[in-house]
Structure 1
Amino acid sequence: MIPLFNQLPFGGALLGLLGLLGSGLGNQGQHSPTPATVQVDTTNRPAENRFTKTVLSNDLNEPMELAVAPDGRVFFVERAGKFYVYDPVQKKTRLLYDFPVKAVDKYLNGLLGMTIDPNFSKNHYLYFFYTIQDKDDTRQRIARFVINNDNTLDLASEKSIIEFHIDLEVSAHTGGSMTWDTHGNLFISTGDNTVPFESNGFAPIDERAGRHTFDAQRSAGNPNDLRGKILRIHVEPDGSYTIPDGNLFPKGNSGTRPEIYVMGCRNPYRISVDPATSIVYWGEIGPDSGTDGPQGPRGYDEFNQAKKAGNYGWPYFVGDSKAYHQYDFSTKAVSSLFDPAAPVNNSPNNTGAKQLPPTTKAMVWYPYNKSDEFPELGVGGRCAMGGPVYHYNAALQSKTKIPAYYDKALFMYDWMRNWVFAVRLDDQQNYQSMERFMPETGDFRRPVDMEIGPEGSFYMLEYGSVYGIDNEDARLVRIDFNPGNRTPVAKITAKDTIGLAPLTVAFGNKSYDYDKSDKLTYQWRFEGNKLASTEVKPTYTFRKNGIYTASLTVTDPSGKTSTSKQMIKVGNTMPEVAISTPDNSTFFFPNQTPFRYSVAVTDKEDKAIDRKKVNVALTYIPKVAGNDQQIGHQQISASYNLGKSLIAGSDCKACHQIAAKSVGPSFTEVAKKYHDDKTATAKLANKIIIGGGGVWGEHAMAAHPQLSREETTEMVKYIFSLVNQPTDNRIPPEGNIVLKEHVGNDAPSRYILTASYTDKGSMGTPQPKLALSKSDVLVLRPTKVPGIEADSLHNISKQGKRLGSIHNQSFFMLKGIDLTGIDRLTYRYASKDQTATINVHTDSPTGPVISTVVYTATGEWKNFSDVSAAINNPGGKHDLYFVFDKADGTGKNLFSLDYLLFQGKEMAVNQSNKQSGK
């Protein structure tokens, strides 16, 4: 996410390139709508476990668009030019042709889309949307080919249907989607082909000389240009085309193009036509701004619906026709809002009519942040894809067709957010409601195209996790519905899976069946394929050394089966490794008494432990530049884990990898660039929220206003930690260590002591030799603990580095604290006008009290003071609960905690000497 490019694979809202991938959510191959006389069930939602997702073709490279033929063949294309077919009979994918297209990373064009003719069974026509270049002219071409019965593409049959010029230097918004209506009309989506990166995430309407590629008024807002549109044409047998009635501009109308059905599009990346109503649906990739500004509204992605030809507003309007201001890019002067009822295009780059049709607002629109109108869409990066509409066919003989519950539902999906929604419309085809499709088991990997097959199953292309690279999880998948008996789920459990022969293992069985009435049978195999038991929970003794795979096969009455496996290792036992210290095992004390440690290793099989093979290392995780907070707590680093988790749950990985470059820089590149910048943490944490560009090239990072400053700070800290990799120093299995002063008692750092041992393996065991490893870890943290590092909060909130909103009986907890050598606790705090007591309990909020302090008000929240109290060591490690108590039981907003300082006698003396200058 740093910087998470909003202009990523696909333009604007999510990432400005999204137009570049083609589309094609056509209805070709879809079965006919259900006759009006057939009643279908749209009330009982089917269980999600009745849907099965099957990978048909894996490890693709930037898959773009697919089309399913009536005979079940699945055709699909990759941006670099490859055209494939998946054969459902042979269950194999075959490369049919590699188009010599203009497809380079800088320009993000190439083979963008494909579709099949509505009469494909008879004429074998395929249509491709791809980029060509002749001398200095770059064009998008929609061409028709014939595919032969042997799955070879007849190159000599190519007919160029329609072409239009593009500005190749613009690396965004190329559209590429194609689909059909029931009248045989071909719909084609085109992007606005405009640089979005220097408009601050608002309308790109820069009219300055030499800046025409920064002005979408020349394309999307121009009725005499085919870019930023959805076109509708009728392809004739000879490859020419005619104009159907009902397009936006009549043929022969001055300053307009008759091919235009919809204008005012930024990047209509996926389009679809409902075969029952001929209504057009599409996903529109919106602009980048995460907040409203002087130039106009923040960015929104849209799901649009065109019941008739119309103008959808870009670049003058966004979302539900929210208007931008007229803006002078030379003087930065902001003037009046554009009028959605009568928009006018006065740009010098407009070659068409100036007076434009009134705008039509989006059906669904949503920003980076939570949408007030459509909150179920969530938050994060945006990349809207639209279609198809599913029509249940009761007469279709298919065991896998999507059920009647989804009849007439529009399916829309988001490339960045990895979800699919089923949208419900009323009798007038107006938006009614939506619900997630397969929210728990879908595991969608950047859905980039979705279509309905002739058997009523869904087919989907998944682009894969990261934009612009050859993703291992880029794939073609099919989603089937199972209306009948479901496969049972086998699940083995076992506790004692490692030991000496004879090893007796009591196996558990947590298998289950979704069809509750099914009586399951069990087949256990422990050594090879021989059936050993049919009990539910057998016990088995392995008498010889070796590595075995125990398997459980579960079968239901219909014969459906599933198998679970468990590895059993016989002939050895795990070594035991333990780090011990007579000193404190939670905190380190710089430049004071050496830290004493020893590592004990025992192994039942190894008669003598070779101490040279006990691997012990002291690892220092250093301070991060510009970071005043701790980077961790407990196991290694809480902030490291928190920041890593926040990034994993966001859209960051779509644009960034840890070490490799994608559309954005790697995280390690970012960390190295800002390593010595003490202000970088705050600056980048803010940039994640507001978005922006200009540092790493032309691409902009998406805004993330849904994230808090605390969350983005943790993300930046994790990224910075990647170049501060721990320095491992081998040390003896026992010794004394003086922990260096350079760490600093308040530095965001950790010392990590690790010990590991690999035993000699079992004797007489076949190769591979059964050697087992065990390790132990001890993490030492500074004695100064910022409030934000509390492990658990009750009725308390985090306020930056501090804890606040602390009331009577509020508490926070620190986990696993050793108080060896600690006899005093100091609080750095503020309290405007309250006096109360803090009691420290062990292991629960009502456990034994080991410290009590009464503090007094400091007068203002900005006034901080120290208060100290003795603390008793109960021995061992304990969870410490800090409970606030107001005698009258009515206290509100009692306390703000900056940090805690755990002190011992020697530490207190050293601090006193420092203060007195000794």
Structure 2
Amino acid sequence: MRLSLLALLAAVSTVFAAEAPPDYRFKVETLLENIPQPMQLQRAPDGRIFFIEIAGKVKIYHPDTKQVAIAATLDVTIAQENGLLGMALDPQFATTGWIYLLHSPKDFAGQFISRFTVKGDTLEMDSRKDLLSYAEQRRECCHHAGALRFGPDGCLYASSGDNTNPFASSGFTPIDERPNRDPWDAQKSSANTNDLRGKILRIKPKADGTYEIPPGNLFPPGTPNTRPEIFSMGFRNPWRFNIDQKTGIVYVGDVGPDSANTKEDRGPNGFDTINQLRQPGYYGWPYSRGNEVYLDFDFATNKPGEKFDPLKPLNASANNTGLKELPPVQAPLIWYPARASKEFPILGSGGRTACAGPVFHFDPKFKDTGGFPEHFDKRLLFYDWQRPFIKWARLDKDAKLEGIENFTGAVRVDQKGGDDGTGRVAIRRPADMVFGTDGALYLFDYGSGWGVNKDSKLLKISYQWGNLTPLAKISGKAGAGREPLDVELSAEGSKDPEGEPLAYEWRLQPGDKIVAKTAVAKFTVTEPGEYRAEVRVSDPQGGIGTATVPVMVGNTVPVVAFESPANGDFFFPGQPVKFKVAIKDFEDGPSSAKADDFGIRTLVSALWKTADGKESETDPGIALMKQNGCFNCHAVEQPLVGPPLLKIAEKYRGVAGAENESVKRVINGSTGVWGQVGMLPHPHITEDEVHFMVRWIYSLQPGKASPGMTRGLTGEIPAPGGDQANVGVLEASYTDAGRPPKVGPATGHASVTLRSARLEAEMADEIKGPQVIGLRGASQKKALGAIGDQHFVKFTALNLAGVTSATVRAASGGAGGKVEFHAGSQTGPLLGEAEVKPTGGADKWTEIAVPLQVPATARGDVFVVFVNAGQKELMNLDWVQFNAK
């Protein structure tokens, strides 16, 4: 039996949207990064952003100082998806200071909704008032939901999950009624009128820390076998819901089960749903999903029963403590499975974690605050944490669904993340989002994985009204060198966001001398000194964008080279990488003549990357310091051109206003603060980026400098152990002494790329025969399988100097065979071999040593050949590791 939704679909398909505002008008700012498992956020009336982390921290972000205060840490259990789950500020927070938290105490099997008072940046723990608690089973996982929101009626709404283990029902409805199997029966919770789990709850908080039942809930107070706090029921895991602050309509994202296909004897495949709660009701779980219904099922006999009746659902479970007869099932607003949806193809396919976001309401004042435009008025944002996506649901004046549209292309919602070359900010997993009173959108990106992610972030997306400033861009090499210096620069990469024609004016600073009025500038500087070439790009409306590059006249850039290691050499996991650097400088001479002087000015750093290209450098501050050349003038513990970074940290750490002042000095430059040598301005670095850099500096402690950096012409840098890195990049930079007093120092760079001595088999440069497969227990969850006789893999340009053996990690549920190492070709000289015997299973891994005889010419291609005459399915190969003496 299908729920009646055809009329809704017909309405959706016949209404078309007006053209959306252009992407270039949206401004995306990263306010904060590296937030451990962010849950909910809310912007306070004074602009502060309150947010919570699942492990128990309540934090406050100050947009004016870009500082984060820890307001409190609650003692919660985080087992089985529990923790600090929900947060809502009181509607009168500016005067009451009240904050409501939904949390999982360690000493109570269930959830509490508690009120606290915030004063300044501190949550006063002794102000706690417990409004509501409800028990849960903790024998098995999962599904707690746990979001909190206030509605325009002043009522506090909370979501709760079905608290049911989903892993014993084949992805279909968990309704196991056998004795002692209640953790596997969602009828005890979602379909139970006398239980607060699997619900949207609605209460009216009172000033004394208690609550009353507001009119309009599903069951009037006093109704037998019901709980009056229930607003709506029949949800599985309503992790994210929201409330239209004008109409009071509640929108609920409900995460569905995992069944990928419909089965006649069980019911439909899994659907995630976005539900529109205009009034209280029952939303189907565990008897229906999407617009379809399940069959009853006897888990004792494994036999199906009749289909459930969505118009008259009955809860006959022995685990039900409420009414047997339930209200009719309400249809969802939007529903979609793992595969592509026939009804809503714009939602794509893949994993599912449906979330309901806020409804936007336009206010003319947003033109002054960066709020979204009127085009999005009365539209619902909804999103998926897993797939992922962010979409607009276009609603008519009666809040009926007209269509679904993509969110702005100014961001890229993509679980892969990274830089795709477009400059757009990537959102991996949207986790919560709210519109502020300024009309801008504030949202959490949970990051790349399920746990704590260094790439999690807090974003602000605003709208740029009026004429937009042109974006100035300079290319070409301004350079550094002896006088006279010929300079050729181009601003042809500049653009006007609105497509207007541009005018150009080049000036040489200091002195404000105009040197060109064309897109390409050519000029000569004859006097030694430190200059800046500045281009001013203007549009017909008078908008001006600027860009600058340094021009150093009178000092040449040093030439830096690695004598060892060489490109392509191995690093061995957990062992130090030894290096030797040589430098030649026109002014300072060769490094061999003054090794100590050159050594103190030479910085060698390492960047390690995993097999997927992700950098292991986790602190954005140090990454930006390296990227912008800060270590050319600053060392951590000793003075160079500028003061030691530790001295800066000790002087300013904890001083009110110091971070903002430091940021201004980095961007604008300064003189006389730490001596006679001034710091040049850095206008190309954004204010947000400088905040990350300054925070990293302030975090430094004596003796705890980054192990990925060292100074000297020779030395060593530790490599990460195990399979933490597959590629390493060593970079050496040398900063000369300059030509005082007119010309400051110049910096030269060199780098080499190293590869781990442990080579993932599936990452081989050539694979002939084997197939890449996902396999349990493999180091990157992938390996080579379907390996037959004479199949091979090739690794190019390996340097085997110092290598005496190899280790292969293999498993064999088949015939087994030999693994041979050949130089240069599949039939080239044999370097070594070993036998892989059957291990008893395709994922029963063993490590086998292979002695190697390395030729005098140690650098070249290596072929790993698999041998067992006439046999197939010899083995699976996880990795190959080369071992030094």
> How high is the TM-score relative to the length of structure 1?
0.58
Q: Which among 294, 316, 335 is matched to residue 365 of structure 1?
A: 335
Separation (CA, whole Å) in 2 of partners of 1:548 and 1:168: 67
Q: Do the aligned partners of residues 151 and 213 (structure 1) sit closer, same or farther apart at CA in structure 2, a change above 3 Å counting?
A: same
C-alpha contact 1:130 1:142 (8 A) present in aligned 2: yes
Q: Which among 438, 442, 446 is matched to residue 459 of structure 1?
A: 442
Residue matched to 1:45: 20
SS of the residue aligned with 1:154? strand
**After superposition, where does 1:227-266 map in structure 2 within 5 Å?**
227-266=197-236
Separation (CA, whole Å) in 1 of partners of 2:798 and 2:271: 48
C-alpha contact 2:117 2:128 (8 A) present in aligned 1: yes
C-alpha contact 2:193 2:226 (8 A) present in aligned 1: yes
SS of the residue aligned with 1:146? strand
Separation (CA, whole Å) in 2 of partners of 1:370 and 1:347: 34
Residue matched to 1:514: 497
Residue matched to 1:100: 75
C-alpha contact 1:42 1:405 (8 A) present in aligned 2: no
Mapped pair 1:492 → 2:465: no
Residue matched to 2:828: 739
C-alpha contact 1:66 1:451 (8 A) present in aligned 2: yes
Residue matched to 1:184: 154
- Structure 1 residue 682: Cα displacement: 8.5
Q: Do the aligned partners of residues 562 and 467 (structure 1) sit closer, same or farther apart at CA in structure 2, a change above 3 Å counting?
A: farther
**After superposition, where does 1:93-242 map in structure 2 within 5 Å?**
93-102=68-77, 104=78, 106-134=79-107, 137-148=108-119, 150-242=120-212
C-alpha contact 1:179 1:273 (8 A) present in aligned 2: yes
C-alpha contact 1:462 1:475 (8 A) present in aligned 2: yes
Q: Do the aligned partners of residues 669 and 505 (structure 1) sit closer, same or farther apart at CA in structure 2, a change above 3 Å counting?
A: closer
- The Cα offsets for residues 434-453 of structure 1, whole Å up to 9 and x where unpaired, read as 11112343532311111111
C-alpha contact 2:824 2:860 (8 A) present in aligned 1: no
- Structure 1 residue 238: Cα displacement: 1.5
Letter in 2 for 1:424: R
SS of the residue aligned with 2:346? helix
Residue matched to 2:60: 85
Mapped pair 1:728 → 2:798: yes
- Structure 1 residue 525: Cα displacement: 6.2
Mapped pair 1:335 → 2:305: yes
- The Cα offsets for residues 851-882 of structure 1, whole Å up to 9 and x where unpaired, read as xxxxxxxxxxxxxxxxxxxxxxxxxxxxxxxx
Letter in 1 for 2:454: E
Equivalent pairs: percent with the same residue?
35
Separation (CA, whole Å) in 2 of partners of 1:173 and 1:466: 18
C-alpha contact 2:57 2:74 (8 A) present in aligned 1: yes
- Structure 1 residue 669: Cα displacement: 14
Report the count of equivalent residues.
599
Separation (CA, whole Å) in 2 of partners of 1:566 and 1:380: 48
- The Cα offsets for residues 820-846 of structure 1, whole Å up to 9 and x where unpaired, read as xxxxxxxxxxxxxxxxxxxxxxxxxxx
Q: Which among 311, 318, 325 is matched to residue 282 of structure 2?
A: 311
Separation (CA, whole Å) in 2 of partners of 1:399 and 1:363: 32
Q: Do the aligned partners of residues 681 and 109 (structure 1) sit closer, same or farther apart at CA in structure 2, a change above 3 Å counting?
A: farther
Structure 1 unaligned spans of 5+: 1-40, 576-602, 606-640, 647-657, 662-667, 688-694, 697-712, 745-776, 784-918
Q: Do the aligned partners of residues 289 and 500 (structure 1) sit closer, same or farther apart at CA in structure 2, a change above 3 Å counting?
A: farther
- The Cα offsets for residues 763-819 of structure 1, whole Å up to 9 and x where unpaired, read as xxxxxxxxxxxxxx9989999xxxxxxxxxxxxxxxxxxxxxxxxxxxxxxxxxxxx
Residue matched to 2:697: none
Q: Do the aligned partners of residues 343 and 742 (structure 1) sit closer, same or farther apart at CA in structure 2, a change above 3 Å counting?
A: farther
Letter in 1 for 2:26: F
Letter in 2 for 1:116: L
Separation (CA, whole Å) in 2 of partners of 1:237 and 1:669: 63
- Structure 1 residue 543: Cα displacement: 9.1
Letter in 1 for 2:461: I
Q: Do the aligned partners of residues 108 and 567 (structure 1) sit closer, same or farther apart at CA in structure 2, a change above 3 Å counting?
A: farther
SS of the residue aligned with 1:304? strand
C-alpha contact 1:111 1:130 (8 A) present in aligned 2: yes
- Structure 1 residue 159: Cα displacement: 1.0
- Structure 1 residue 151: Cα displacement: 2.8
Separation (CA, whole Å) in 2 of partners of 1:497 and 1:200: 65
Separation (CA, whole Å) in 1 of partners of 2:243 and 2:31: 26
Q: Do the aligned partners of residues 670 and 220 (structure 1) sit closer, same or farther apart at CA in structure 2, a change above 3 Å counting?
A: farther
Letter in 1 for 2:181: R
C-alpha contact 2:28 2:410 (8 A) present in aligned 1: no
Letter in 2 for 1:422: W
SS of the residue aligned with 1:432? strand
Structure 2 unaligned spans of 5+: 1-15, 413-425, 562-583, 587-609, 615-721, 726-756, 803-822, 834-858, 866-885
- Structure 1 residue 553: Cα displacement: 5.9
Residue matched to 1:792: none
Separation (CA, whole Å) in 1 of partners of 2:102 and 2:227: 20
C-alpha contact 2:530 2:550 (8 A) present in aligned 1: no
SS of the residue aligned with 2:114? strand
Q: Do the aligned partners of residues 385 and 565 (structure 1) sit closer, same or farther apart at CA in structure 2, a change above 3 Å counting?
A: farther
- Structure 1 residue 78: Cα displacement: 0.8
Letter in 2 for 1:268: P
C-alpha contact 1:542 1:570 (8 A) present in aligned 2: no
Letter in 1 for 2:440: S
- Structure 1 residue 111: Cα displacement: 0.9
Q: Do the aligned partners of residues 278 and 91 (structure 1) sit closer, same or farther apart at CA in structure 2, a change above 3 Å counting?
A: same
Letter in 2 for 1:198: A
- The Cα offsets for residues 21-54 of structure 1, whole Å up to 9 and x where unpaired, read as xxxxxxxxxxxxxxxxxxxx98452111111111
Residue matched to 2:578: none
Separation (CA, whole Å) in 1 of partners of 2:231 and 2:60: 31
Backbone CA RMSD of aligned residues = 4.8
Separation (CA, whole Å) in 1 of partners of 2:99 and 2:346: 38
Higher mean alpha-carbon deviation, 73-82 vs 390-399, is at 390-399
Separation (CA, whole Å) in 2 of partners of 1:266 and 1:433: 26
- The Cα offsets for residues 501-538 of structure 1, whole Å up to 9 and x where unpaired, read as 98856433211111344644444669x99878444212
Separation (CA, whole Å) in 2 of partners of 1:84 and 1:166: 27
SS of the residue aligned with 2:24? helix
Q: Do the aligned partners of residues 377 and 554 (structure 1) sit closer, same or farther apart at CA in structure 2, a change above 3 Å counting?
A: same
- Structure 1 residue 225: Cα displacement: 0.8
SS of the residue aligned with 2:316? coil
Separation (CA, whole Å) in 2 of partners of 1:669 and 1:196: 39
Separation (CA, whole Å) in 1 of partners of 2:795 and 2:162: 44
Separation (CA, whole Å) in 2 of partners of 1:99 and 1:560: 50
C-alpha contact 2:32 2:458 (8 A) present in aligned 1: yes
Q: Do the aligned partners of residues 375 and 730 (structure 1) sit closer, same or farther apart at CA in structure 2, a change above 3 Å counting?
A: same
Q: Do the aligned partners of residues 123 and 532 (structure 1) sit closer, same or farther apart at CA in structure 2, a change above 3 Å counting?
A: same
Letter in 2 for 1:339: D
Residue matched to 2:465: 483
Q: Do the aligned partners of residues 440 and 566 (structure 1) sit closer, same or farther apart at CA in structure 2, a change above 3 Å counting?
A: farther
Letter in 1 for 2:97: H
Separation (CA, whole Å) in 2 of partners of 1:117 and 1:559: 42
Separation (CA, whole Å) in 2 of partners of 1:121 and 1:397: 24
SS of the residue aligned with 1:107? helix
Letter in 1 for 2:225: G
Q: Which among 298, 309, 321 is matched to residue 351 of structure 1?
A: 321
Q: Do the aligned partners of residues 381 and 352 (structure 1) sit closer, same or farther apart at CA in structure 2, a change above 3 Å counting?
A: same
